[in-house]
Structure 1
Amino acid sequence: MSDQCLFCGIVAGTVPSVRVAEDDRTLAFMDINPASDGHLLVIPKRHSKDLLDIPAEDLAAVTLATQRIAKAAAQVLGVDGLNLLNCCGADAWQTVFHFHLHLVPRYLDKTKDRLVLPWQPGVPGDVDTITALGGKLSAALG
């Protein structure tokens, strides 16, 4: 735990939150700046800065907890879809440096859903760039 981390404070109970689910490794709570009705966060209880820092067992626990909560959200909230979002690094919009997954319910009713895409899906990229970057990543992964 980090004394300076907002989410560690939520885990410790010193920062108020609306808790949704909890187990020995994870905690899920409502986002106070929601992109849609029912937007929540799922975090590991043990502090990890981001996706590059989190131990595999905590990442697996957070992912499985998120899936369980997503199934409940789909049934209970009447969602039309769900987004799962992680921001890794300040330039990728991370503002709290404790790994977390955003579970964002999506609705056709835009009074419940304020999330908009920051890019245009379906716009093709440059094939040469895609091929070159794919090759670099493949080589790095062995």
Structure 2
Amino acid sequence: MNSGGYDSNNIFGKILRGEIPAHEVYEDENTLVFMDVMPQAEGHVLVVPKAASRNILDADPATLGPLIAIVQKVAIAVQEAFDADGVTIMQFNEAPAGQSVFHLHFHVIPRREGLPLRPHSGMMEDGAILAANAAKIKEALAG
């Protein structure tokens, strides 16, 4: 059960409207992919639908098919771009489950054997590093 409706003033809504900058990796008519500014590993990206959805619990099923296809495409690209051993994909629904931004999104995080995830803290990554990582993923997507 949702604890509230969709609020278009969430940070991802603002990014989608161009009100807040983001290091974009991929965009199509339904989806935007951008770097997480507090990455848990090098190459951590967020995949968000352009459709207004608080989370997977209220998303239009027609949104989910194209969205998960992009999650897969991006997961393959980040694994290649960062020569990762695997990829963690996470999606949270409501605050008790760990959701902190109430716009449906998937975390796609390249993983290396033996390296734990960093905390998803208030420490923002340097913009130049995010831009370089975005470029690596874009290159893998283009290849």
Q: Is the TM value for this pair above 0.5?
A: yes
* Alignment correspondent of 2:117: 114
For structure 1, the 5+ residue unaligned runs are 117-142
1:96 is aligned to 2:95: no
* 4+ residue segments displaced more than 4 Å: none
**3-state secondary structure, aligned to 1:70:** helix
- In 2: Cα distance, 1:71 partner to 1:60 partner: 17
Using the size of structure 2 for normalisation, the TM-score is 0.74
More relative contact order in 1 or in 2 (CA 8 Å, sep 6+)? 2
**3-state secondary structure, aligned to 1:103:** strand
Matching residue within 49, 52, 56 for 1:47: 52
The percent of aligned pairs where both chains have the same amino acid is 33
Tell me, yes or no, if the aligned pair for 2:30 and 2:66 is still in contact at 8 Å. Answer: yes
Q: Which amino acid aligns with 1:71?
A: I
Using the size of structure 1 for normalisation, the TM-score is 0.75
Q: Which amino acid aligns with 2:117?
A: R
Task: State the Cα deviation string for residues 83-126 of structure 1 (Å, max 9, x = none).
Answer: 1100101000100000000001101263xx5258xxxxxxxxxx
Matching residue within 25, 39, 47 for 1:34: 39
For structure 2, the 5+ residue unaligned runs are 1-5, 120-143
Where do residues 36-75 of structure 1 align in structure 2 (5 Å cutoff)? 36-75=41-80
Q: CA deviation at 1:3?
A: 4.1
* Alignment correspondent of 1:136: none
C-alpha RMSD of the superposition: 1.7
Aligned residues: 114
